[in-house]
Amino acid sequence: MFTFFPSMRQRTIAMSSHTSRTPDARISRKPVIWLVLLSILAVTKSFADTLPNFSALVDTEGEAVVKISVVSQSGQNGLSGIPGFDLEQLPENYRRFFEQLPLNPDRGPRRGTGFGSGFIIDSDGYVITNAHVVDGAVDIKVGLQDRRELSATLVGTDKSSDIAVLKVDAKNLPVVKIGDSDNIKVGEWVLAIGSPFGFEHTATQGIVSALSRSLPDETYIPFIQTDVAVNPGNSGGPLFNTDGDVIGVNSQIYSRSGGYQGLSFAIPINVAMSIAEQLRETGFATRGWLGVRIQNVDQSLAESFGLTRPEGALISEVTPDSPAEKAGYRAGDIILSFNGREVPFSSALPPMVGVIKPGDTVKSIVLRDRNKKTIKVTIEPLEKDVKNARTKNSQGKRLSSLGATVAPVDQAELDDLGIKHGVRVVELAADGAAEDANMMPGDIIVSLNLAQVESVNQLESLLEDAPTDRSVPVLVQRGEDVEYFSINLR
């Protein structure tokens, strides 16, 4: 095993060729060999002792990790002649191949099952997972470590960040500890807990291999890259550091086969929690928008602009009437820092802008005419997010205990009606509480149980606190008339 030591026969022959050596000299070398061996064993043990032991972390934090099971329905028809065939369980490249096969037009929309992971962030039952895990779901179940399986409602999703928030009807649930993803360092040990391939509460470990990684079509997420084994089913699960804090949400893998190949990517927890808070408050999320077209700075461009090394994001175009134009940015400016953080390359800028709350004003340092200049800019919401919000509002939110779908009302319409607050009834459920109370689509709920209704989320909270063993009054604006209804909540 230790090739740097000669064999015993070689040592004997070598010593016999020198008459000055004695058997005593041969024997005296044995303690030296044993000392070297012991030293090697000591170093090996010392190295082993420095490796993290995640067993205590799994015991304490694993209870807040859940399995997400979904039943989804797509608009496509099922594959002809292959009963029970589930494309969702295939790697993406194989799934695309089968989806191109001829379909049977006589079959209805295809229903499939899938699974993922998640973690509890609030003891009252709020769960974070990936948006792609619950995309198109018609039924969602959350499996706890104590083997309970609870039905979940979808609070909101944000496909741009791949974050979704679910709500289960339960109290005093275990919750994870939320860490700070801004303090992550490359090389630190991390642990993922999830349900790869449906195997519940599976733990895999590795290290952080890169930070602020940009991926195609994922402009606004500075991904954490790790070598943790992440497979289908891990999506939405937590990424822990050695202190037991969640620092990321496992989201994607880089793979040519559909399985783990050494690269996995997690959404930083600071980004995920910011999106989750917005989803809980409004049901949708918005990102900051600057309004510039940028490119990377290579060595030749750096020299031509007077930089000592390549850095920053070079502005090639400023969008008219954008926050950037209003702030005074120009084509040819190189953004060197934004909101107190250096911009090492162009792809690092969009995530920095995206995490800024619309309406906030931040400082940036740009290089203009070989001189540094400070520019303050007020960030506005990304137009795509505004459109998504409008779509979300028009669709409304379904409140099961009320038996109705409700949506916000524009302030201009409230002013025209002469009221200060309320939410609109968009749709009634058959045989629901609202229908039984003779409410109608288009009604504006002004108050419930004598409490003002300021928003959809507030109405949801009022419904949770309202009694179900007796009727409660609800004040409704119908056209120009205001009327109280008596409603028995379910």
- DSSP per residue over 275-300, as a string? HHHHHHHHSS---EE--EEEEE--HH
Q: Looking at 74, 132, 214, 471, which residue is catalytic?
A: 132
Helices (H), 144-256: none
Q: Name the helix (H) or strand (E) containing 437.
A: none
Q: What angle do CA 16, 20, 26 make, to 5 degrees?
A: 55
Rounded to whole angstroms, how far apart are CA atoms 284 and 71?
23
Instruction: Look at the block and give the residue holding tokens 């028995």.
Output: 488
Rounded to whole angstroms, how far apart are CA atoms 141 and 474?
32
Q: Looking at 160, 235, 274, 447, which residue is catalytic?
A: 235
State the distance between the two ends of the chain, measured CA to CA, in whole angstroms.
75
Q: Active-site residue 132, yes or no?
A: yes
Q: Looking at 158, 161, 162, 195, which residue is catalytic?
A: 162
List phi, psi (to 5°) of 27: -70, -35
Name the percent of the chain in helix, strand, coil, to the closest 5: 30, 35, 35
Rounded to whole angstroms, how far apart are CA atoms 164 and 171?
20
Q: Active-site residue 201, yes or no?
A: no
Measured in residues, the chain has a length of 490
Rounded to whole angstroms, how far apart are CA atoms 490 and 478?
23
CB 284 within 8 A of CB 390: no
Q: Active-site residue 209, yes or no?
A: no
C-alpha dihedral sign at 178, 183, 185, 188 = negative
CB 163 within 8 A of CB 251: no
Residue 268, burial from CB neighbour count under 10 angstroms (0-12, 13-18, 19+): buried
Q: Name the helix (H) or strand (E) containing 166.
A: strand 163-168
Chain-centre distance of CA 83, in angstroms?
34
Q: Name the helix (H) or strand (E) containing 167.
A: strand 163-168
Q: Where in the sequence numbering do the catalytic residues fall?
A: 132, 162, 235
